[in-house]
Amino acid sequence: MKSATFSALALILLLPLAACGQSGRDTAPSGAASDVAQAAREVREQTSSSVIAAEVRKGIEQAKKELVSKDISLGSIHVGSGPKPHDDSRPKAVITPQGTLVIAGKPVAATAEQHAMLVDYRQQIIGIAEAGMDIGAQGADIGISAAKQALWGAFTGKSDQEIEASIKPQTDQIQAAAMALCKRLPDMLASQQKLAAAMPEFKPYATMTQKDVDDCGNDMKDKDGKKGFAVFSD
């Protein structure tokens, strides 16, 4: 973590709240110290971990409901951290909640066995996407915690190293969850390959490779946080 990062986070939180804190306080003490102290109190109140967690969880639950109840576009699925492959020659294809493959708006006839494979592949996608959402929610909490601690650190003289150490248990948990997600990819790849072999119409959309599985753990371990892992990418 760099000093500039913490300073920027603190400043983003501090400035608008300082302005809000000054409005309607005609009798409040003047001076930069009182304004900063008031802003700090408001940061603490408005960035309460429970409030942030509730809002993030609300959004995650809504996204999960939509994921289960809506069509999954095969063109939007991208596994790995590399650039998303583009193939404009492919017609739009989706798997419906009922497990029907629809290409260019037309349902593709499937045997009972093929249908079961479509349902399994869709469930593999949903399971990994939901796990990714939960990891994202944890990351949001850590981001707020880091910003708050950067602000308090300005008052208490804590170093960036001390702040980083204080949130390390949380980041370690996310790392473990991310690695657990990576371990689920082989099953998703196997499901995709099985479906592609059994259903030629699906094969052009089977873009996940063994390299994506192999690279997942390495991407998660990137020390600079520049790499990432995507299951859906618009």
pLDDT at 75: 83
Give the predicted TM-score (pTM) of the model.
0.65
pLDDT at 45: 55
Least confident of 5-14, 46-55, 112-121: 5-14
Element (H, E) at 134: helix 112-156
pLDDT at 134: 82
Please give the distance of CA 47 from its chain centroid, rounded to a whole number. Answer: 20
Tell me what the pLDDT averaged over the chain comes to.
Answer: 73
196 falls in which pLDDT band (50, 70, 90)? very high
CA distances from 212 to 110, 217, 230 (A): 28, 10, 10
C-beta of residue 151 within 8 angstroms of C-beta of residue 43: yes
In angstroms and rounded to an integer, the radius of gyration of the C-alpha atoms of the chain is 23
Give me the percent of the chain exceeding a pLDDT of 90.
31
Residue-wise pLDDT tens digits, 175-192:
788 888 899 999 999 999
C-beta of residue 95 within 8 angstroms of C-beta of residue 71: yes
DSSP 78-89: EEESSPPP--TT
pLDDT at 8: 39
Boundaries of every domain in the chain: 3-22+29-224
pLDDT at 86: 57
Give me the percent of the chain exceeding a pLDDT of 70.
56
pLDDT at 202 over 90: yes
